[in-house]
């Protein structure tokens, strides 16, 4: 028993460091509220906002959702949802196609370390700017509309898919390539018969996962003029229209759940 006490007495007292760490974090949190623009007078308004949202969901204006009555289909939420899906799909398709050659230039297994470093640096440069910042830049240069959204999704997808594709190339089984080397196959034949058949299922699965992400991104990009449902979110939020805004939210939920379910089912078949 005495030996156990001696061992425990020699044990480092981590609780002191933990206490100091918690105290430091607590102090930082308290100090962070200094200068915060929190208005306590607005707190009583929060229940009314939630009540407005609930009432809106119970009284959705379906004419704005489907486009009839005073609204045409091109003004409806359904139209903008289709536009959002188109932006995400075309942007992912273009980005995926361009990411394939970029990924080979960033794969050490194919081009060696020196060229791969240049390829990876190029992909990093593309990923430096978040999608929202890239959208701000392109909106100024190209203008508002779905074309800008496609450019943003496509460019950013090249950076992300190129990185993931290059990692898949570097980790692939090289036995098929060595077998083609043994029979005297050239580089094009090794690419066609040794590399692509092995990587296409995985690349397709990664592209589907990226499409799932891009659908959500396309929704947000519309808020700054890149087309899609984000445009309606801004339109119906200032001032808030509780009979139209819930329709946009429902459309986003249905769209995201549908794309997620379809892409998950396809990925299971591919991998």
pLDDT 10s digits, 18-39: 788 888 998 888 777 766 666 6
The predicted structure's pLDDT at residue 182: 79
Domain residue ranges of the chain, discontinuous segments joined by +:
62-270
Whole-angstrom distance, CA of residue 84 vs CA of residue 262? 16
Each residue of 162-202: pLDDT tens digit? Answer: 998 888 888 877 777 777 777 777 767 777 777 777 888 88
> Is there a contact between 96 and 210 (Cβ–Cβ < 8 Å)?
yes
Given pLDDT bands bounded at 50, 70 and 90, which one contains residue 2?
low
Nearest to 258 by CA among 89, 92, 59: 89
pLDDT of residue 168: 85
Average pLDDT for 244-255: 85
Counting Cα atoms < 13 Å in the Cβ hemisphere of 37 gives: 0
- Report the C-alpha gap between 26 and 28 in whole angstroms: 5
Task: Classify domain 62-270 at the CATH topology level.
Answer: MetI-like fold (1.10.3720)
Q: Does pLDDT of 271 surpass 60?
A: yes
| Mean pLDDT score across all residues of the chain | 81
Render pLDDT for 123-140 as a digit per residue (tens, 0 to 9): 988 888 888 888 888 888
pLDDT of res. 92? 93
With 60 as the cut, is the pLDDT of residue 81 above it? yes
């Amino acid at each position: 028993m005495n030996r156990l006490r001696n061992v425990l007495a020699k044990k480092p007292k981590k609780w002191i460091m933990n206490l100091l760490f918690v105290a430091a974090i607590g102090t930082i949190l308290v100090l962070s509220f200094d200068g915060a623009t929190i208005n306590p007078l607005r707190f009583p308004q929060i229940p009314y906002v939630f009540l407005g949202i609930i009432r809106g969901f119970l009284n959705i204006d379906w004419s704005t959702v489907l486009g009839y009555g005073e609204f045409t289909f091109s003004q409806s939420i359904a139209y903008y949802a289709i536009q959002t899906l188109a932006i995400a799909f075309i942007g992912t398709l273009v980005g995926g196609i361009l990411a394939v050659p970029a990924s080979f230039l960033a794969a050490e297994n194919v081009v060696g370390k020196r060229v791969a470093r240049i390829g990876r640096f190029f992909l990093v440069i593309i990923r430096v700017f978040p999608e929202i910042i890239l959208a701000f830049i392109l909106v100024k240069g190209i203008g508002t509309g779905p074309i800008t959204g496609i450019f943003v999704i496509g460019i950013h997808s090249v950076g992300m898919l190129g990185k993931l594709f290059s990692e898949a190339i570097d980790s692939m089984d090289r036995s098929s390539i060595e077998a083609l080397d043994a029979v005297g196959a050239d580089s094009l034949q090794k690419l066609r018969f040794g590399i692509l058949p092995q990587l296409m299922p995985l690349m397709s699965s990664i592209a589907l996962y990226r499409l799932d992400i891009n659908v959500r991104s396309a929704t947000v990009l519309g808020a700054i003029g890149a087309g899609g449902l984000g445009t309606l979110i801004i339109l119906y939020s200032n001032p808030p229209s509780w009979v139209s805004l819930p329709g946009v939210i429902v459309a986003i939920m249905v769209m995201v759940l549908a794309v997620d379910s379809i892409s998950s089912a396809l990925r299971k078949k591919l991998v």
